[in-house]
Amino acid sequence: MISFGTGGFRGVIGEDFTEENVRKIAQGLCDTSFSNGWNTPVVIGYDRRFMSDYFAGYMAEVFTANGIKVLLMDRATPTPVVMSATKKSGFELGVMITASHNPYIFNGVKVFLKGGVDADEAFTSALEKTVNAPIEIKSISLDNARKAGLFEKISYVETYLDDIEAFIDPRVKNNDVKILFDNMYGVGIVGLTGMAERLRIKRFDIVGKEHDAFFGFVPPNPTEDAMSALADAVRENGYDLAIATDSDADRLGVLDENGKPVSSNEILACLYYYLVRYRGMEGDAVKNCATSVLLDKVAEKLGYECHETDVGFKNISAGMKKYNALIGGESSGGLTVRGYISGKDSTFSASLFIEMCVMLNKPLSEIVDEVKRFAGYDCVYREREITVKNTDPNERLYASCVESFGADSVVCFGRNVKIYLGGGWALVRASGTEPVIRIFAEMPTAMEADAIIINLIQKITEADKRG
pLDDT tens digit sequence for 110-134: 999 999 999 998 999 999 999 999 9
437 beta partners: 386, 430
- Residues 38-44 have a mean pLDDT of 96
Strands (E), 168-222: 178-182, 203-207
Domains of the chain in sequence order: 9-154 (3.40.120.10), 160-375 (3.40.120.10), 380-466 (3.30.310.50)
Residue 406: per-residue pLDDT: 64
Summarize pLDDT for 217-228 with one digit per residue, the tens.
Answer: 999 999 989 999
Above 90 in pLDDT, residue 387?
no
Residue 435's pLDDT band, with cuts at 50, 70 and 90, is confident
- Classify the C-alpha dihedral 364-180-287-448 as positive or negative: negative
Above 70 in pLDDT, residue 338?
yes
Above 70 in pLDDT, residue 430?
yes
- Residues 41-53 have a mean pLDDT of 97
423: alpha, beta or left? (left if phi > 0; alpha if psi -120 to 50): left
Above 80 in pLDDT, residue 433?
no
pTM of the model: 0.93
Q: What percent of the chain has pLDDT over 90?
A: 81
CA–CA separation, 334 and 139 (whole Å): 36
Residue 235's pLDDT band, with cuts at 50, 70 and 90, is very high
Above 80 in pLDDT, residue 398?
no
